[in-house]
A and B are shown apart, each in its own frame.
Chain A
Amino acid sequence: AQSVAQPEDQVNVAEGNPLTVKCTYSVSGNPYLFWYVQYPNRGLQFLLKYITGDNLVKGSYGFEAEFNKSQTSFHLKKPSALVSDSALYFCAVRDANNDMRFGAGTRLTVKP
Chain B
Amino acid sequence: ETGVTQTPRHLVMGMTNKKSLKCEQHLGHNAMYWYKQSAKKPLELMFVYNFKEQTENNSVPSRFSPECPNSSHLFLHLHTLQPEDSALYLCASSQEGGSPETQYFGPGTRLLVL
Contact = CB atoms under 8 A, between A and B. Distances in A.
Interface of A: 4, 9, 32, 34, 36, 41-46, 49, 51, 90, 94, 98-105
A90 to B, nearest CB: 7
13 contacts: A4-B42, A41-B110, A43-B90, A44-B92, A46-B102, A51-B99, A98-B96, A99-B56, A101-B45, A102-B42, A103-B42, A104-B40, A104-B42
Interface residues on B, range: 20 to 34
Given A100-B103, A104-B40, A44 B90 contact: yes
Q: Provide the main secondary structure of the chain A interface.
A: strand
Q: Can you list the 6 inter-chain pairs with the closest CB atoms, starting with the nearest?
A: A43-B105, A102-B43, A44-B105, A32-B100, A94-B100, A43-B107
A42 B90 CA distance: 10
Nearest to B103: A100
